[in-house]
Structure 1
Amino acid sequence: MHPAMEAWPEVTSATHLAGACAAITVAVSLLGQPERFCGAGRKLALALACTGLWSLSVAAQGAWGMAAQAMLGLRNLSYLLALYHMFASDGRHRQVAQVVPVLASLVLVDVLGPLAHILEMRLDPASMTKDATYRLHILIAMLGVVGSLVLVHNLYASASNSARQILRWPAAGLAVIWGFDLNLYTVAYLAKSWPGELAALHGLAVLGLAGILALGASRRRELLAIRPSRTVTFQSLSLLVIGAYFVAMLGVAQWLALAGGEWARWWEFGFLIVAISGASLMLPSRRLRAWLRVKLSKHLFQHRYDYRQEWLRFVQTIARNGADAAPLEKRAIQAMADMTDSPSGLLLTPDDQGDLVLAARWEWGALDVPSPALGGEASAFLTAQDHIIELDVLRQGDRGIKGEGAIVPAWLLQEGRAWALVPLQHFGRLVGVVVLTRPPHDRPLDWEDFDLLRVVGQQIATYLAEHQGQTALAEAAQFDEFHRRIAFVMHDIKNLASQFSLLARNAERHSENPAFRADMLVTLRTSAERLNHLVARLSRYGGTVERLEPVALPDLAQEVAKAFPPAKVQVVAPEDCVVLGHRHALEQVLRHLLQNGVEASAAEASVLLSISRDGAQARVEVIDSGHGMSAQFIRNRLFRPFDSTKSGGFGLGAYEARELVRAMQGRMAVESREGLGTRFIIHLPLAQRPADSIIEKVA
């Protein structure tokens, strides 16, 4: 005999002796706690004592000894007695009509099985070696175990929620011992011989039963409660699904090997290849994992979300810092999208006109978002209602619970990936809107989604509002520093202008050479005009102009284009387009935008300056094919003073251009795509009425 086989009897004795000690110890402790387990404490103590004696009998004589078989019958009968007492504790033995007949049948099986075995051993021991007799005994034992497991299931399933907290311990313990028995008898029946190696571990099942009942009887069992997280549950069940798949696959392959005839091997290998290939394609699927996660959350947990885990992940995403950390706006989108398993999203924030424009995007670079993305009506609606909009409902033709269908633009409904709009409210002010894409496993939003997204939206709004406040304070500090410095510059320039003016007047009085006097006067007056012009320009950094007057845009555009190399700026303009503005301010705006476009474009590329009428306004577009800008940069850096990407730049050009356009009662918008180019759009009022010829502006 192989040495490893000779060790199994010792293993049998060791495990069963350990199980006997544990069972008898717990039985003694339960004798003093009759109220435990719905008053079945002493009945379970009796069952544990019988289990301990059965384990001792197996260790001494083996599983098929007469003493062991007799104690096995007593063990099972004591389990049934404890089960009936637990059913009877709240009157369910009268309500569940199947309990008494099942109990009676199981008692009969547990009495006849060991009794028949004992009689055969006394009358004809050789009969036990016959295959038919052996399999009959195993079938009777399996019948008793299956019926007992059904009874345990009914005990727990029909109990109230409060009773389940008590009955889960004995139910789990009995499921362990009878579950092991079922596997043991199944293997014994299929193998047509007693599996001594597996039976040697029977004592470990007794240890499990004793340990579970000991935990249930402990007065501090609440501290030992095991609550698996959703992650552990999902991973465990995923492994079970994978294991079940491969077991089924091997079972079918074995069946094909037995039933396939001469082509059996071909059928077997072909099936294995197809099954393994299918598993390799399906198991890594994100959609499959999302579907499984939704089903587990729906059927195994009271709530869809693990709020503790979601909050920890939310804080970790928002608080991420470092050189490689994404901007706060992008992190805000990701933090919300992670909760609903959305693969991407957008953040829209209000501009100065109250429209919602693109501020940031996360993993959604291909979408072309117009400017503005949502109009002022949508912003006002979301501010007043604070309502989460489910876009799939609107796509079905429904106007929505609060009439939100009227404010959602067509481009958003046509984008099939867009799933929900979540407003971000901070003390009654709309800070922004997050657009979420649909998760891999598509599903409608429910009350739990709405509650969670609303709270998360409020938290994100707080972070964004605080960030905006800090940014505004930093800009104010920079403005103060700039004003202090420019005050000295202004003072010096004004002194120089005054000195030149005085010099010019003195020269007129005292110079005797007419030619020299004339030349000096021209030079001094020109210098004085330039200095005064510089002073006026510096005074306009606040975005004010002296007055508005009619300006011919086509003529001004051609004049500005001449300042650049030939063919570098292409002008497309009607013959007559007169706007109400300030010529020098408009020239400054166009020069800045064209200069930026030329610098951003390739050397052989040109910049387009287009002028057209748009109702009662003129539309000016400066279009380049340069490297473009991200929505994040446009929103947070393009118009921020003192923030320049050029070495030595002040970062005032785009800011000043926008402020000058606003001072002329116009507005400026930007559309840009990284790698494609940028379009600056300016709207200015047309000078159509005589009363508009000259409007004084107050600085």
Structure 2
Amino acid sequence: MEEIFAFLAFGIAALACVFAAVWIARCGRRDRSDRGATLVALSITCLWCLAVASLGADRALSYFAETARDLAWTVVLFRLFANDGRDASLRLVRPVIGSLVFVQLLQVFVVFVAMGGLLDRESASLALQTLALLHLLSAAGALVLLHNLYAGAADMSRRLLAWSAGSLGLFWGFELNFHTVAYLGGAALNEVNGLRGLVMAGMACGIAIGFSRSERGLTFRPSRAVTFQLLSLVLIGGYLAAMVLLSGWAADRFSGDLGRITQVGFLLAAAVFTVLWLPSPRFRDWARVMATKHLFKHRYDYRSEWIRFTHTIGRPAGEEGSLSERAIQSLADITDSPCGLLLVPDEDDALTLAARWRWPQIEVPAPAVPLELARLLEREGLILDLDKSRQGISHRGEAAMVPAWLRDEHHGWAAVPLIHHHRLVGVIVLGRPPVHRGLDWEDFDLLGVAGKQVASYLAEQAGQEALEEARRFDEFNRRMAFVMHDIKNLSSQMALLLANAEKHSENPEFRKDMLITVRNSSDKLNALLARLGRYGGADSGRRERVDLADLGRSLAARFTHTHPVSFSGCGRCPVLADRECLEQALVHLVQNAIDASPARSPVEIQVTNHGLRGAIVIADAGRGMSAQFVRNELFKPFVSTKEGGFGIGAHEARAMVRAMGGRLDVESRESFGSRFSISLPTDAAEKLLASRFDDSPIGAERLDEVHTKRNEVA
């Protein structure tokens, strides 16, 4: 009875395959890439059904035909993947399909060994059980691929794919259960073998119906999560298959304790591989890069990347670093870069280091990037591929402008300009990802857009800081207005007291002392009032010949009674400056040096004449300042390291020196001290400039213009 049912079922299946093949050949869509493979698969399935119906399922010819059937439908599945029209999507599918084909070819070898009389009865039974396991693995892998195909298809493509995917799912799902029971039971299931014929008939009908659909083309859009789960399942399945095959080979090749030792050795080797290699971050990064590169049309999942970017850059201040550090991280996360640097324009528009993220070991000079390269990046919006720059490949002449420190640092990978309203806000240098790869068009597009977004955040922060600074200046100016008003009233009262004393005092000696005291106090208050009136370094326009050597000696004598202050110079050093403003700036710097120095550590004042410029240096051996503080906070008003300090002295000193056409430079190192240097043009430089225009009728106007431009540059 069972044999009759199987004969009828497989006969019906063979007829269904024939009718389905004829229908597809005559009426099915001819533009589908899986059409030819499906016709071949239906023909081979028909032959298998005829072999089972006539000879039985346990004959060698039936086993070979079954393997050929599995190979044919695997090729059909591969062609379904090819229907999305992108060869790149097949690069990751090909290895998986290849693994399934390899498992199916092993079935041929096992059938040949089991049915060729090379083994005894017991070994042949074991070989057939192994054959069932191989069929099981093949069905499981095909089902995983089929699920990934259908889950990644577009909605319109799913309507075309529904019947074909459902039919193949029915086929491989039944095969999976059939061979699982056969493997666990250790024998063929003759009782339910006839059901396989009915399943084949249903599959053939479903495939034929699928080819009658009018929709065209498939769009393969697997999600990243589904893809990585697929890879994990394939890896686990491959591991299990390898262990089963190796263990079976060891059991056949060796006997007794030696066979068991060999199996345990294989198990330990696999465990070591699993522990050392699979959890490796480098291996996971490599797997992710390979999957996104070969399976997907686009490397990036733009929705996920933008959500992560917004979450990183938009975190509140104080959470996991400053905005500058989070700006670096937001771009580094996109390309899986492990570290990065942020360079921002300084006062001369050259790029200097502003922040670093997980890159403490690199030494960055100041300036970090020359002005020419900064202007090129601002003008062109060019993202630098540092590997190509090291090879001398250049698109806008940028390779020759890349600084030596960045060219020699092979961990540097890309430099992304941050452009906001056609203005360069900064440059982010990204470290090389763990898995080496080159930059392509997709990297350039995404980093360019994200860089503009980062630039807007940094520009917004700079604007908020400027507004806050302006607000605090406004508050400070209002306070100073009250102070100036009170001082002015006090000065008027003292002037009145002075007038009354001149009229009514009878004691000549008292009157003399009182007049001297009151006059001195009045002069001091008026001088203070004048300084407060031009607070912030406004240029008074006065220039006089000032000897820096004399001024340095007077400062040393002025402070020497409160702290050791030494002076050294090389003769006279006449410069053109506003003496009162210059003295006020130097007093600020000397007082700061004294406050930062230990009690007995001297402060040094040095004066040098460089011909066209003179310099006065205030150096101390105090606690010093960090490079970050000097770069970002030293000259900001209302920022001070001293308890109770107003933080206005260094800012005012630099503003006054600049107003006189000079320059204030700082060198400092923590625990070693600081060195402030003021450089001013000498009168020799002024005479040299004047001599060039003496013969010109507009010489005076040109000289004033030179003075103005020199002050603007300074």
The equivalent of 1:12 in structure 2 is none
Q: Deviations over 1:58-84 (max 9, x none)?
A: xxx8xx653145324533652564366
The equivalent of 1:78 in structure 2 is 16
The equivalent of 2:651 in structure 1 is 655
Code of the aligned partner of 1:78: A
Code of the aligned partner of 2:13: R
Report the secondary structure of 2:535's partner residue: helix
Which of 528, 531, 534 lines up with 2:525 in the alignment? 531
Distance 1:574 1:201, change over 3 A: farther
Code of the aligned partner of 2:431: T
1:383 Cα offset (Å): 2.0
Correspondence 1:172-571 to 2 at 5 A:
172-180=165-173, 183=176, 188=182, 193-194=187-188, 228-238=222-232, 240-241=234-235, 244-245=238-239, 247-248=241-242, 251-252=245-246, 255-256=249-250, 258-259=252-253, 263-321=258-316, 323-398=318-393, 400-546=394-540, 547-551=542-546, 553=548, 563=559
Q: Deviations over 1:407-445 (max 9, x none)?
A: 322222122222222111122122222111121112111
Distance 1:101 1:538, change over 3 A: closer
Question: Contact 2:537–2:652 (CA<8 Å) still a contact in 1?
Answer: yes
Question: Contact 1:420–1:437 (CA<8 Å) still a contact in 2?
Answer: yes
Rounded to whole Å, the distance in 1 between the matches of 2:569 and 2:516 is: 38
The equivalent of 1:145 in structure 2 is 70
1:396 Cα offset (Å): 1.0
Unaligned runs of 5+ in 2: 87-153, 691-702
Rounded to whole Å, the distance in 1 between the matches of 2:637 and 2:33 is: 82
The equivalent of 1:6 in structure 2 is none
Code of the aligned partner of 1:113: V
Report the secondary structure of 2:316's partner residue: coil
% identical equivalent positions: 42
Report the secondary structure of 1:442's partner residue: coil
Rounded to whole Å, the distance in 1 between the matches of 2:565 and 2:236 is: 65
Q: Deviations over 1:207-238 (max 9, x none)?
A: x989x99x989x9x99xx99653244235424
TM-score (norm 1): 0.74
Distance 1:289 1:277, change over 3 A: same
Distance 1:160 1:349, change over 3 A: closer
Code of the aligned partner of 1:413: R
Q: Which moved more, 1:230-239 or 1:483-492?
A: 230-239
Code of the aligned partner of 1:116: L
The equivalent of 1:51 in structure 2 is none
Rounded to whole Å, the distance in 1 between the matches of 2:607 and 2:284 is: 54
Report the secondary structure of 1:422's partner residue: strand
Rounded to whole Å, the distance in 2 between the matches of 1:138 and 1:551 is: 108
1:249 Cα offset (Å): 5.2
Report the secondary structure of 2:538's partner residue: coil
Distance 1:609 1:372, change over 3 A: farther
Which of 637, 641, 654 lines up with 1:641 in the alignment? 637
1:302 Cα offset (Å): 0.9
Distance 1:302 1:600, change over 3 A: farther
Distance 1:413 1:610, change over 3 A: farther
Code of the aligned partner of 1:112: A
Distance 1:509 1:438, change over 3 A: same
1:316 Cα offset (Å): 0.9
Rounded to whole Å, the distance in 2 between the matches of 1:659 and 1:198 is: 96
Q: Which moved more, 1:339-348 or 1:279-288?
A: 279-288
1:589 Cα offset (Å): 4.1
1:364 Cα offset (Å): 1.9
The equivalent of 2:686 in structure 1 is 691
Question: Contact 1:544–1:660 (CA<8 Å) still a contact in 2?
Answer: yes
Question: Contact 1:371–1:669 (CA<8 Å) still a contact in 2?
Answer: no
Rounded to whole Å, the distance in 2 between the matches of 1:618 and 1:144 is: 94
Unaligned runs of 5+ in 1: 1-60, 118-127
Distance 1:69 1:556, change over 3 A: farther
Code of the aligned partner of 2:16: S
Rounded to whole Å, the distance in 1 between the matches of 2:23 and 2:567 is: 96
Q: Which moved more, 1:249-258 or 1:439-448?
A: 249-258
1:692 Cα offset (Å): 6.2
Question: Contact 1:84–1:93 (CA<8 Å) still a contact in 2?
Answer: no
Q: Deviations over 1:8-54 (max 9, x none)?
A: xxxxxxxxxxxxxxxxxxxxxxxxxxxxxxxxxxxxxxxxxxxxxxx
Code of the aligned partner of 1:356: L
Distance 1:230 1:612, change over 3 A: farther
The equivalent of 2:51 in structure 1 is 112
Rounded to whole Å, the distance in 1 between the matches of 2:245 and 2:566 is: 75
Rounded to whole Å, the distance in 2 between the matches of 1:94 and 1:344 is: 46
Q: Deviations over 1:468-514 (max 9, x none)?
A: 22222222222222222211111111222233234334434543333
Q: Which moved more, 1:233-242 or 1:471-480?
A: 233-242
Rounded to whole Å, the distance in 1 between the matches of 2:464 and 2:487 is: 35
Q: Deviations over 1:311-343 (max 9, x none)?
A: 111111121115435322222211111111111
The equivalent of 1:665 in structure 2 is 661
1:615 Cα offset (Å): 8.7
| Number of residue pairs the alignment of both structures matches | 618
Q: Deviations over 1:172-214 (max 9, x none)?
A: 23432343465567664898513799999999x99x989x99x
Distance 1:468 1:115, change over 3 A: same
Question: Contact 2:292–2:299 (CA<8 Å) still a contact in 1?
Answer: yes
The equivalent of 2:140 in structure 1 is none
Rounded to whole Å, the distance in 1 between the matches of 2:174 and 2:14 is: 11
Rounded to whole Å, the distance in 1 between the matches of 2:381 and 2:340 is: 19
Report the secondary structure of 2:661's partner residue: coil
TM-score (norm 2): 0.72
Code of the aligned partner of 2:637: P
Report the secondary structure of 1:642's partner residue: coil
Distance 1:525 1:483, change over 3 A: same
Q: Deviations over 1:495-543 (max 9, x none)?
A: 2223323433443454333322222222222212321232233234221
Code of the aligned partner of 2:253: A
Q: Which moved more, 1:605-614 or 1:530-539?
A: 605-614
1:277 Cα offset (Å): 2.9
Rounded to whole Å, the distance in 2 between the matches of 1:296 and 1:78 is: 39
